[in-house]
Structure 1
Amino acid sequence: MNVLIVLAHPETRSFNAALMKTAVARLESAGHAVAVSDLYAEGFDPVERASHYVDIDDGVFKLLDAQRDHAKRQTLPEEVARELDRLEWADLVIFQFPLWWHAQPAILKGWFDRVMVYGGRYSSRMRYDNGYFKGKRALLSVTAGSPRQAFQPFGRAGDMAAWLWPIHASLYYVGFEVLAPQVSYGVQGGGIEYQKQEALEAHLADCKRHWVERLGHLESEDPIPFAGWQDWDEAGVLRETAPLRWRLG
């Protein structure tokens, strides 16, 4: 299996970097091929803009038109083309990142904005269970500062499933089978000593252990169930005939 890890954290000695290295070691020891897309280290520009494109029709930047036309002509920006090549190669994509302000870091949001190009990787007909990346899998490995209990539906940190839903939905939108997230809770740091070093290292060791265990059976996991085209009516609303699991949410 070919595995791409997209890392979105600026510190090479971070909890997230350690989890990424753990995944690389575990997967390679099992015979898988692994590549890492380190967005900060590689200087990925998350901001979509006209200057990324060599030719803009009428001098007006129409984002979707620019992405579609450059994808068709194979003249996409070099760093976007590089990421797309990595996605083509991968059977599984792992996104490793911290939860910042209830979402992924801006650099990773910008990665989606720029890499999932209109016309090249999605269109009105090439979405959801008809998506371009159908047959590939994706998994979020996320760190969060509060404890697990705080991320329950009625916890003070909110429902983790709700915070991750936009990313899961984006991945399914382009056809990925999305596995349940791997969330490492209670990860505190970032320059302020919320946790003493000894406690932090013990917590990291525990998170690594759970991560290593899970990495050993990813290929046999069932993905998160999503509704598909056959389940929606012409207005995009679930049909009464859709499976009960969709109608119950």
Structure 2
Amino acid sequence: MKVLIVLAHPERSSFNGGLADVAVTRLKEAGHEVELDDLYGEGFDPVERATHYSRRVDDSYFAPLTEQRAHYERALLPADVQREIRRLEWADLVIFQFPLWWHAQPAILKGWFDRVLVYGGMYSGSRRYDHGHFRGKRAICSVTAGSPEQAFQPFGRAGNMVEWLWPMHSSLYYVGYEVLAPQVSYGVQGGGIRYQDEQVFRDRLEAMKNAWARRLPDLATESVIPFTGWDDWDEDGMLQPTNPLRWRL
């Protein structure tokens, strides 16, 4: 496979950076082509703004989707966005490596979605979900969280991790990706009495790296998160009455 790793952490020597390095090494050992996309290291601008567009459709009012589509069709998108799109078109698998901050991805990664998944190019009204631009490609989120795993269960104090990652998973499926279950590394801040011993904590981090390394070779064949598609919905976008999921909710 061709694998793109999108790293969203401001410190390259962080644990997130270490997990990205594990992925690069392990995947190359398995014979895959790998490219690392360090958003902070490359100075990616996450803020969508009118000044990104050189030949505005309307100079008096900034409509981001209108400008995205027009500049995509004219091959005039900003250079950093064009670079990111080329990487996505190249990759068979995209790994998003990031810490969970305020129950979501870091702002630089959210802005990456805002700017790179351009309307008219990466999606449109008819090219979404299982008809999306990136259908046939895979994506996975590798996420770190400070609290222990138990805190992120449905009744845990930190809330259900499935719900925190649902918006990003949905966005990836929206543009056509087959989305794999996330790799979540819990308890990386080392808080709590159980991690007061530094060596115990370092051993725990190493174990999480090893768990990620063991999973990486199987990402091409793993089962994906089951989303509903166009054939499952009626004209109002609701599940068809005959869909089995209607009777499981």
- Give the alignment's TM-score, normalised by structure 1: 0.95
Which residue does 1:57 correspond to in 2?
A: 57
Q: Deviations over 1:32-87 (max 9, x none)?
A: 00001100000000000000000112312111110000000111000000000000
Cα distance in structure 2, aligned partners of 1:246 and 1:75 = 45
Letter in 1 for 2:2: N
Which residue does 1:45 correspond to in 2?
A: 45
Contact 1:238 1:247 in 2 (8 A): no
SS at match of 1:40: coil
1:71 equivalent to 2:72? Answer yes
Letter in 2 for 1:136: K
**Gap regions ≥5 residues in structure 1:** none
Which residue does 2:82 correspond to in 1?
A: 81
SS at match of 1:57: coil
Q: CA deviation at 1:227?
A: 0.3
Cα distance in structure 1, aligned partners of 2:92 and 2:172 = 14
Cα distance in structure 1, aligned partners of 2:82 and 2:143 = 26
**Gap regions ≥5 residues in structure 2:** none
RMSD: 1.5
May I ask how many residue pairs the two structures share in their alignment? 245
Task: Within 5 Å, give how 1:19-38 maps onto structure 2.
Answer: 19-38=19-38
Task: Within 5 Å, give how 1:1-249 maps onto structure 2.
Answer: 1-59=1-59, 60-188=61-189, 197-242=198-243, 244-245=244-245, 247-248=247-248
Q: CA deviation at 1:216?
A: 1.9
- Give the alignment's TM-score, normalised by structure 2: 0.95
Cα distance in structure 2, aligned partners of 1:145 and 1:101 = 11
Cα distance in structure 2, aligned partners of 1:129 and 1:88 = 17
Cα distance in structure 2, aligned partners of 1:245 and 1:200 = 42
Letter in 1 for 2:24: V
Q: CA deviation at 1:172?
A: 0.2
Cα distance in structure 2, aligned partners of 1:196 and 1:78 = 48
Cα distance in structure 1, aligned partners of 2:44 and 2:133 = 23
Q: 1:247 to 1:75 in 2, by over 3 A?
A: farther
Cα distance in structure 2, aligned partners of 1:85 and 1:54 = 20
Letter in 1 for 2:146: G
Contact 2:130 2:173 in 1 (8 A): yes
Cα distance in structure 1, aligned partners of 2:247 and 2:44 = 40
Cα distance in structure 1, aligned partners of 2:143 and 2:197 = 21
Contact 2:57 2:70 in 1 (8 A): no
Letter in 2 for 1:2: K
Cα distance in structure 1, aligned partners of 2:45 and 2:197 = 34
SS at match of 2:58: helix
Contact 1:126 1:174 in 2 (8 A): yes
Cα distance in structure 1, aligned partners of 2:53 and 2:182 = 35
